[in-house]
Structure 1
């Protein structure tokens, strides 16, 4: 007897040549693994402790958010529509942000993503040692990295100045990353694992970057890092080393299959090709980069040479939401507009970027990203009876996948199973008090806003001027 049997589903398995769609399908789960997948009429395992008859609703792999900063989720909506996202709006609040605010905001951010079908969070922030407790409590699958840099405080640096690097800061942050690795890497049979997380090649010395790589090798894990994420990074690299980021990283041996290269916003076509050909993965955050910079990163170029292309929602203060349905739609539309071609980034390819190709990018394709026997049971059930998925047709033209990418908004997700456990059922979380988390997060946000008042008035940001003018 199995633990869970999901039956009468439209299965999107993400297996095989296409998306592996099976009508009138079934999935069985025992412990934390998928045991059988196929059409219900051919099923051998028909007895279960819990049966879920989904009546032709969509059953698919949980979505993978390959790059998210949940620790700054509490600053959502405070710096949009400006040409200098950090200094032009966010700095007063960053100065007032404390550890409590980071952790409580993170919890609400994780709940937001989970309720919209995200089962794996590649969380890249600090204090990750405490944020990890949120993932453990909620039941999410987490791939965690505590950010490492040598920056003591960037808020007082004038634009154009070279960042002052402090090795003592770098060593302290490296110790935090190692403590995270020792405590959480492999937790709950690998439901939580850790990566090394250098923040960017412009924010740390070559010596520290190489030390990070050696540690990653020792733990047999990957490196999660912003790469060519903005013109300021490129300026810093050229001023310090006389080289652009990707050339520099290639020369020090950083471009390989250990690297998860986030953004590549400023990468040229040749640089993007080099990253792909060296075996590194690209993590694309279309919504965040579109809102913050008005730029479409070179994902189309990367995709010519590698399928290790994943999507991330980045951070709520920039993207304003951490919802992978939103990210899929943004990715498809922005790339179509970029080249004036409606055929590029079709729905079926974009869905892969949030599931099986994301798993490949993380080196986890043997465990997650598709529905197949032996894989971890990370599964979501999507209600096709909702208005946004109407109508649901199988013949003569199946429309379910385009509707998932272009129409769904995440509220259609009714059940979330992670590692074989039901963590959301009928839109209700089973392990976390959602209302309490929001109340605690709101209180922490109000405290941050109160402390930020003095910085807000003194810093004279772009948005503070607009506030005074009564425009916002």
Structure 2
């Protein structure tokens, strides 16, 4: 018999590749952190000698979810200001607090909280865009989750850097001192076209080409963004990025709410990765991403939550349901964005966007054992005729019981194995007190 480290037996295995495939009463064999085989339970018992066997007969196993757009440390700002427009939210409530309070310790605590929430909702990899990415790097290493961390660029002073030259210098240093691997990738993260000028974008394009990095930014999020771009540059933001040679398969475009038919064609033809954030778009009344029309043109689609300050959670299972239902309503078509497609967006689509698809995003031999167990034996998901539909349309994140990343169990029966929640909660409390101070005291 072949020795393996773990044999996970489950009622259903959903590998995502091939699309819609389902293995009933199956098992996943894991050795050295990677998947050795997917097979029937009977075959697994004949073929493998496991150091540990986990039996989950009421569960479905899916690939770890990939949150393709978030701002992890902003979990500390969850609920600080709700029910206001995006630019008012940023200018009057978020940015003043960030200027006053954000530092490396803020990012460490906020990112730990985000990782705890994401693991407990089945996310095993995330794309981050925030200040002090070196501090986020430390937290990712200590917690065992995977991440693509954004190297921030804006054209104004922030707690992270004072000018474009300093952003570039700091980001280059991180690229040199903290090389990417299968746990952490680096992204170039200019905030948005309205906060980054042409000269900075030109340097980003050069660095992206030289270092083979992807570019992650907010794009076409609001109608106001487009109107201001037309006034300032005489062209829409996507056209401006195209002029700057950034519209290609290395572009990760978050939101993409306001698109013309011509822009949809361009995005699909160039291989731009659209990072769809339906709940944040709804909450900020930004509009509706034409995700069904993008899917019809085989555009590259991934799913993100945005930050917990504007969502207000990092729950990709909930995001899948919202994405599927909203796509049907906007398209007027119940067949738009079916369950298997939206699950693919939340797994392999995100892995492809973040350049992790060679090692995660689907349950396949040779890939890392990033695996999520969802309990479908509860009243909320019974009877179970179609496990994929049940996960997308009926399950909640509370049904995620166990999570493995690279074969290491980071969640066991809803209990975090590397994060001490009692200690983390005590770490959060002082930030809650500081951030709740009235804004006039921050001036």
**Both structures adopt the same fold (TM-score exceeding 0.5):** yes
Per-residue CA deviation, residues 18-74 of structure 1 (Å, 9 max, x unaligned), is: 322100111111112111111122336421111111114111101010001012111
Query: Where does residue 388 of structure 2 map in the other structure?
Result: 401
Query: 1:404 Cα shift?
Result: 0.7
Q: Is the 8 A contact 1:9 1:58 kept in 2?
A: yes
Q: Distance in 2 between matches of 1:453 and 1:439?
A: 27
Matches within 5 A, 1:178-217: 178-187=172-181, 190-217=182-209
Q: Is the 8 A contact 1:308 1:358 kept in 2?
A: no
Matches within 5 A, 1:297-308: 297-308=289-300
Q: Distance in 2 between matches of 1:248 and 1:451?
A: 39
Query: Could you tell which deviates more after superposition, 275-284 or 235-244?
Result: 235-244
1:96 aligns with 2:100: yes
Per-residue CA deviation, residues 388-425 of structure 1 (Å, 9 max, x unaligned), is: 22222xxxxx3322221122221111110001211111
Secondary structure of 1:450 counterpart = coil
Per-residue CA deviation, residues 258-294 of structure 1 (Å, 9 max, x unaligned), is: 1111111222222122112111111000011110125
Q: Is the 8 A contact 1:34 1:371 kept in 2?
A: yes
Per-residue CA deviation, residues 353-412 of structure 1 (Å, 9 max, x unaligned), is: 1012222333332211110100111001111122322222xxxxx332222112222111
Query: Where does residue 330 of structure 1 map in the other structure?
Result: 322
Q: Distance in 1 between matches of 2:158 and 2:187?
A: 24
Q: Is the 8 A contact 1:269 1:298 kept in 2?
A: no
Per-residue CA deviation, residues 173-232 of structure 1 (Å, 9 max, x unaligned), is: 122222332233324xx2111111111222222222121122222222211111122233
Q: Distance in 2 between matches of 1:104 and 1:360?
A: 28
1:15 aligns with 2:9: no
Secondary structure of 1:195 counterpart = strand
Query: 1:439 Cα shift?
Result: 1.9
Unaligned stretches of 5+ residues in structure 2: none
How many residue pairs were aligned? Answer: 436
Q: Is the 8 A contact 1:144 1:194 kept in 2?
A: yes
Q: Distance in 1 between matches of 2:136 and 2:344?
A: 28
Query: 1:141 Cα shift?
Result: 0.7
Query: Where does residue 127 of structure 2 map in the other structure?
Result: 122
Q: Which runs of 4+ in 1 moved over 3 A?
A: 87-96
Unaligned stretches of 5+ residues in structure 1: 155-166, 393-397, 459-472
Per-residue CA deviation, residues 327-362 of structure 1 (Å, 9 max, x unaligned), is: 111111222222333222221211111012222333
Query: Where does residue 49 of structure 1 map in the other structure?
Result: 51
With normalisation by structure 1, the TM-score equals 0.87
Q: Is the 8 A contact 1:313 1:319 kept in 2?
A: yes
Q: Distance in 1 between matches of 2:79 and 2:93?
A: 10
Query: Where does residue 140 of structure 1 map in the other structure?
Result: 145
Per-residue CA deviation, residues 153-179 of structure 1 (Å, 9 max, x unaligned), is: 69xxxxxxxxxxxx9611211222223
